[in-house]
Amino acid sequence: MNAASRDEILAFGTATSEGPATTPGLDAWRELPLRQAPQWHDAEAFEAAVAELGQVPPLVFAGEVDVLRTRLADVAAGEAFLLTGGDCAETFAGSTANRISARVKTILQMAAVLTYGASVPVVKMGRIAGQFAKPRSSDTETREGVTLPSFRGEIVNGYDFTAQSRRHDARRMVQAYHTSASTLNLVRAFTQGGFADLRSVHRWNQGFLANPAYARYEEIAAEIDRAVRFMDAAGVDFEAMRRTEFYSAHEALLLDYERALTREDSRTGDPYATSAHFLWIGERTRAVDEAHVDFLSRVRNPIGVKLGPTTTAADAIALAEKLDPQREPGRLTFITRMGAERIRDVLPDLVAGVRDAGLSPVWVTDPMHGNTVTAKNGYKTRRFEDIMDEVTGFFDVHRQLGTHPGGMHVELTGDDVAECLGGADVVEESAFAEHYESLCDPRLNHQQSLELAFAVTAALAH
């Protein structure tokens, strides 16, 4: 799979239009209701930023995006599993080599556990290299009597609670592009340059084996090692194992940014969003007749849509008609985020309705966003047991309906943070004060991520 895809990518060539795509219809969203839009305060700076982004090189190539679509078609057909993980909100200062490598390593470890334990190919994807824009439920935030614009992700404004920092500054879009480029460069180096070599499974482990998740991982790594040594002795060519495909993804919230980075593929003239391989539409911006859905219906990338607990089958079918009228395998992914309490009630009708309409999207569980609670000490958190419960509910429902539980989308970090409660090495509220780092939603830490991978492996394997 790996070697072939690389050849495919190279054979596709890499040329895209120098400037933004001019395909008719790409600006139709400008006439439609647009939610979550920033109020850029300096029109000149905005024009300059958009003009600059219109001329920069693409972050991803159309050929890679097409390969991803075929991988997702395999997922839709029940032959592979999609693993997506990363920060809720990336930050410029947090885009360092160590942090990026820890996150990539966590996803590689989870994928190794899943691939080995469930004997299923895993499509690996990061919420990385572009996950800078955040939807907010309120436009403003009030602290101690002072009201300022909400933090909307570092592509729009700063996290510091000052008027200066919270101003919507379009120049941040250019910085987000450059940070995405340097992040993706490192991700490509890690995954293509030998770091992802399956012979390194041991080296990815970090921390003490007294931790239950690490000890279990070590056992799997030893087994993979044995299998690899066997294949080595049997004369298998290892070149392909040195590399792995790894795809970038983010929420396509900021349409000014996405539009400026749209390019035409030199092979076909089709428009591609070149900010990432995969883009998703958030729960707050998925109205079928509004701007976000319209714009994303017009680019060739595989598209995801988050679906919350109020989504009806009719809503999902209407979205599929708009986003995937040709019913192209791998084009459309539904990412459900129902909450552990509701998933068993609301998911069956949704999935059955979509199935009965003859559609086969990729179905992914996001067990994070329906399970956010406020801890007694005021922090936004999630309980590991709720996350596990939603994942189990997702598998149960799809098993009952005969549909494929195609993937998991989680907020995680490779670092030893304390943001989600519980896990085998229990995280408690008292740890938040010192080890809560997220600027937005709480993430699984490294060991909670591995623990989740083991649980999903067990659910997938039978």
Annotated binding site for Mn(2+): 88, 369, 411, 441
- CA gap 85, 226 in Å, rounded: 28
Of the candidates 170, 441, 453, 457, which one interacts with Mn ion according to CB under 5 A? 441
- CA gap 409, 373 in Å, rounded: 19
- CA gap 306, 283 in Å, rounded: 5
Closer Cβ to ligand PEP, 20 or 282, answer by number: 282
174 binds, among Mn ion, ligand PEP, none (CB under 5 to 8 A by kind): none
CB-CB contact of 189 with 288 (8 Å): no
Per-position DSSP letters for 201-267, written without gaps between them: HHHH--S-TTSHHHHHHHHHHHHHHHHHHHHHHTT---GGGG----EEEEE---HHHHHHTEEEBTT
Of the candidates 69, 167, 292, 306, which one interacts with ligand PEP according to CB under 6 A? 306
Of the candidates 172, 369, 383, 404, which one interacts with ligand PEP according to CB under 6 A? 369
Site size with ligand PEP, rule: CB under 6 A: 10
Q: Which residues are annotated as a binding site?
A: 88, 127, 283-284, 306, 337, 369, 411, 441
Closer Cβ to ligand PEP, 389 or 441, answer by number: 441
Compute the half-sphere exposure of residue 171: CA atoms within 13 Å on the CB side of its CA: 6
Closer Cβ to ligand PEP, 5 or 333, answer by number: 333
Residues 92-151 contacting ligand PEP, CB under 6 A: 135
DSSP 139: S
- Burial tier of 254 (Cβ tally within 10 Å: 0-12, 13-18, 19+): buried
- Please, what is the minimum distance in Å from the beta carbon of residue 343 to ligand PEP? 14
Residues 248-267 contacting ligand PEP, CB under 6 A: 251
The residues pairing with 374 across neighbouring beta strands, listed in sequence order, are: 380
| 25 three-state secondary structure | coil
Of the candidates 63, 282, 405, 442, which one interacts with ligand PEP according to CB under 6 A? 282
Q: State the binding string over 72-91 for ligand PEP (x if CB under 6 A, else -).
A: ----------------x---
- Please, what is the minimum distance in Å from the beta carbon of residue 442 to Mn ion? 9
In 319-383, the DSSP E strands lie at 332-336, 362-365, 373-374, 380-381
135 binds, among Mn ion, ligand PEP, none (CB under 5 to 8 A by kind): ligand PEP
Q: Which residues are annotated as a binding site for phosphoenolpyruvate?
A: 127, 283-284, 306, 337
| 421 three-state secondary structure | strand
> Is there binding between residue 166 and ligand PEP (CB under 6 A)?
no
Residues 50-89 contacting Mn ion, CB under 5 A: 88
The residues pairing with 85 across neighbouring beta strands, listed in sequence order, are: 126, 410
Q: Which residue is nearest to ligand PEP (CB)?
A: 282
- CA gap 118, 112 in Å, rounded: 10
Footprint of Mn ion (CB under 5 A)? 88, 441
Footprint of ligand PEP (CB under 6 A)? 88, 135, 251, 282-284, 306, 337, 369, 441
